[in-house]
A and B are shown apart, each in its own frame.
Chain A
Amino acid sequence: MSGHFLQIDKLVMRFGGLTAVDDLSFVVEEGAIHGLIGPNGAGKTTTFNMISGFYRPTGGTVRLRGEPISGLPMHEVARRGVVRTFQHSTLFAELTVLENALVGTHMNFRPGIVSAILGLDAENRRGARDRAEEALEFFGLLEFAGELAGELPHGHQRALGMAVAMAAQPDVILLDEPFTGMNPEETRQMMELMFKLRDSGVTILLVEHDMHAIMGLCDRITVMSFGRFLAEGGPQEIRTHPDVIEAYLGGGRHVA
């Protein structure tokens, strides 16, 4: 057992005869923005799903501060401090913005049925509301608090997805392709929000296709190809790494 913050150790995921992720190991340091990239089908999202508890790995372990979290159901992983966002279904479109953030406070302000009926949970509700508003403020969404989340512009919806995760006060946030469908201006704003999030003490692990965003954001990058570990390093190393360039099939124009 090591002192690493988030340690992915020899993860394996098989679906029948297909090995989606094969013997993958890497380490995410506390307070870092860590990118997980690779060509389509490299197994990035599968890896994400295993870390967040959405899938149970066929083999290997994920440890947070030395404590194994792999194989636990997703809500248990979340309670241990690892909260994820989704590529699709990022928010509750039918609920208001504030209600979305309130769902995020679930773990810290566990609702009770009896106290709710008798009205004994006023303090809890106020605490949850303060926390939710704080998270919305952080992402500049407080002015939309009463609006339906589904009616927000795309960029704000993405930010709200992160606000929901942040309201849960996690140690690690897993972001699944947070820049999908964003224009350059939205991407730039989102990157600023992520730096701000990191500076507030949250470790970020993200899967992303947008190379510009990845290179500008990440402290360290892990590259996967065909389910395996390919390379790891800072943005500069990865940009010039021969294996990485080859994996992207002469994709120098994507990478560089």
Chain B
Amino acid sequence: MPRAASHTAGWLVLAALLIALPHALSFSQQEVLVFLTINVLLVASYRLLTLTGEWSLGHVVIMGVGAYASALYSKQLGIYVPVSMILGALTAVLVAMVLSYPLFRMKGFYFLIGSFAAGEIIRLLWKRFRDPFGGPKGIKKIDPMPDFDIGIYSFDFFEPVSYYYFALAVVALSLWVMWRIERSPVGLTFHAVHWQDKLAQSAGVDVRAYRTRAFLIASGFAGLSGALLAHYIGTINPNSFDVELMVFVLTWAIVGGTATFYGPILGCVVLSILNEVVLRELGFEQMRPFIYGLLLICSVLFMPKGLESVVQYFMRRRPGNAVAKAQRTGGPAQYEAERGTET
């Protein structure tokens, strides 16, 4: 099928671009690129959570749980770093599971506030208990990723480029998993829970179980992004995961739009480039919150469907139409249909 071939070619070109990208950048830009890669995973996991209609304000704290857990496992227990990252992600899932019991008694605004409160409690625990969390100063000298060699490329994690490739691989795999989930019947059920939870329930869907599931999966990937961050910067503290970062995640998701898989990623990439290229280069760094706030307001007013709507406009296809097209050509069902693959 030429269509499939062109898709494969598109992915290969994208992969080549992403691999070549760091060599066109300066050292500090390479560092920013690593953060951007990690943030893409964070915001994509946030979108998975919003699929069921609940918006959390505790997501970056969950990311922090992954970061703290992975840092402590490797530092205190001497666990091999890549393994500790996975354990960190699982710890985030575990903490999310505990939180889900009180949180999913709430919906909408109450959930939003409840998640914020839960996140603040976790941050206060980090501050209060110097052992093992290091108090307000956090954890320092976190073990870096051990260098390794895969034959064609030898990873030297003192170099941001190496860490970028490592993070890129982890993030790409994670995105693929989330993409598979969203396009599966499970993803359809998430959407159903979002739009009409009562109706979904009358079709036998355990609404709370599905909300919890989305929350746990999203938390796992957020925890993984936190672990990636911790072993890169080597030091974390409670303020690394404060509400300011949460506001950035929200801004990326809202400016990008959450109707498609690529929307939040687009928001994150575009705003980060804007931040680096425009603000830092021109010396407007101090005005970042101001400009982000302005952008958020403008995008809500003038582009309520986010950057993704601009992409869709040029692609000339809405999500519904893509499905309709797949139908007419006897293609597969929605969750197998071509939809937003043009990331």
CB distance from A127 to the nearest CB of B (A): 11
A85:B202 contact, CB within 8 angstroms: yes
Binds B, one of A76-84, A182-190, A213-221: A76-84
Tell me whether A95 and B204 are in contact in the complex, defined as CB-CB below 8 angstroms, given that A112-B186, A146-B326 are known contacts: no
A180, CB-defined interface residue at 8 Å: no
Question: Given A74, A92, A93, which contacts B201 in the complex, CB threshold below 8 Å?
Answer: A74
CB neighbours of A78 from chain B (8 A)? 201-204
Given contacts A106-B189, A117-B181, A125-B333, contact A96 B204 (CB under 8 A): no
Interface SS of chain B:
helix
A117 to B176, CA, bound (A): 9
**B204, A106: Cβ atoms under 8 Å?**
yes
Q: Across the interface, which residues of A come within 8 angstroms of B213, CB to CB?
A: 113
A54 to B328, CA, bound (A): 38
| Cα separation A104 to B191 with both chains bound (whole Å) | 13
Q: Is A192 an interface residue (CB 8 A)?
A: no
Hey, which chain A residues are within 8 Å of B129, CB to CB? none
Residues of B with C-beta under 8 A to A106: 185, 189, 192, 200, 203-205
Take A113-B213, A116-B181 as given contacts and tell me if A95 and B203 are in contact as well, using a CB distance cutoff of 8 Å: no
How far apart sit A103 and B336, CA to CA, in the bound complex (Å)?
15
Interface residues of A in 106-154 (CB under 8 A from B): 106-107, 109, 111-113, 116-117, 119, 121, 124-125, 128-129, 145-148
Contact indicator A111/B185 (Cβ below 8 Å): yes
CB–CB A103/B188 < 8 A: yes
A75 an interface residue at 8 Å Cβ cutoff? yes
Contact across chains for B203 and A109 when beta carbons are under 8 A apart: no
Q: Quick one: which of B184, B203, B334, B336 contacts A168, CB cutoff 8 A?
A: B203
Residue from A73, A111, A125 having most chain B Cβ neighbours under 10 A: A111
Knowing A95-B191, A113-B217, A121-B185 touch, does A129 contact B203 (C-beta < 8 A)? no
CB neighbours (8 Å) of B200 from chain A are: 103, 106
Is A86 in the interface zone, CB < 8 Å from B? yes
Kindly identify which residue among B180, B186, B195, B320 contacts A111, using a CB–CB cutoff of 8 Å: B186
* Contact assessment for A92 and B184 in the assembled complex, using a CB-CB cutoff below 8 Å: no
B204 engages A111 (CB within 8 Å)? no
With a cutoff of 8 Å between Cβ atoms, the chain B residues found around residue A157 in the complex are none
Residues on A with beta carbons closer than 8 Å to the beta carbon of B180: 116-117, 119
By the criterion of a CB under 8 Å from any partner CB, how many residues of chain A are at the interface? 46
A121→B184 contact, CB < 8 A: yes
B206 interface hit (Cβ, 8 Å): yes
Residues in B with CB closer than 8 Å to A84 are: 202
Say which residue of A89, A107, A116, A147 sits within 8 Å of B203 (CB atoms): A107
A164 at the interface (CB under 8 A from B): yes
Shortest distance from the beta carbon of B332 to any chain A beta carbon, whole Å: 9
- A125 with B328: CB separation less than 8 A: no
Within the complex, the shortest CB–CB distance from A226 to chain B, in Å, comes to 27
Q: How far is the CA of A13 from the CA of B134 in the complex (A)?
A: 55
Cβ contacts under 8 Å, B336 to chain A: 125
Chain B residues with Cβ below 8 Å from A54 are 198
The answer to whether the Cβ of A52 comes within 8 Å of any Cβ in the partner chain is: yes
B185 lies within 8 A of A91 (CB): no
How many residues of B are in contact with the other chain, CB < 8 A? 36
Partner of A103, one of B181, B205, B326, B327: B205
**Cβ of B90 under 8 Å from chain A:** no
Nearest-CB distance from A186 to chain B (Å)?
21
Structural contact, B199 and A96, CB atoms closer than 8 A: no
Point out which of B188, B326, B333, B335 has the most chain A C-beta atoms below 10 A from its C-beta: B333
**B206: which of A75, A95, A125, A167 is its contact (CB, 8 Å)?**
A75
Give the shortest distance, in Å, between B180 (CB) and chain A (any CB).
Answer: 5
Q: Which residues of B contact A75 (CB under 8 A)?
A: 201-202, 204-207
- B194 (CB) vs chain A CBs: closest residue: A94
Of the residues B187, B196, B324, contact of A146 by C-beta under 8 Å: B324
A90 pairs with B191, CB closer than 8 A: no
Per-residue CB contact flags for chain B residues 198-233 toward chain A (1 = under 8 Å, else 0) read: 111111111100000100010000000000000000
From 34 to 83 in chain A, residues with beta carbon under 8 angstroms from any chain B beta carbon are: 52, 54, 73-75, 78-79, 83
Tell me if B38 counts as interface (CB < 8 A to partner A).
Answer: no
Tell me how far the C-beta of A114 lies from the nearest C-beta in chain B, rounded to whole angstroms: 10
Contacts of B181 in A (CB 8 A): 113, 116-117
Chain A interfacial positions (CB closer than 8 Å to B) = 52, 54, 73-75, 78-79, 83-86, 89-96, 98-99, 102-104, 106-107, 109, 111-113, 116-117, 119, 121, 124-125, 128-129, 145-148, 164-165, 167-168
10 new A-B contacts, CB < 8 A, other than A102-B333, A168-B204, are A73-B201, A85-B202, A98-B333, A99-B323, A102-B185, A111-B186, A113-B184, A113-B217, A147-B320, A147-B324
Give the interface of B toward A (CB within 8 A). Answer: 177, 180-181, 184-189, 191-192, 195-196, 198-207, 213, 217, 320, 323-328, 333-336
- A-B pairs, 3 with minimum CB distance: A146-B327, A116-B184, A111-B185
In the complex, 29 of the A-B residue pairs with CB atoms within 8 angstroms, ordered by the A residue number, are A54-B198, A73-B201, A75-B206, A78-B204, A86-B199, A89-B199, A92-B199, A93-B195, A94-B191, A95-B192, A96-B320, A96-B324, A96-B327, A98-B334, A102-B188, A103-B199, A103-B205, A106-B185, A106-B189, A106-B200, A106-B205, A112-B186, A117-B177, A119-B180, A125-B184, A129-B333, A146-B323, A146-B324, A147-B320
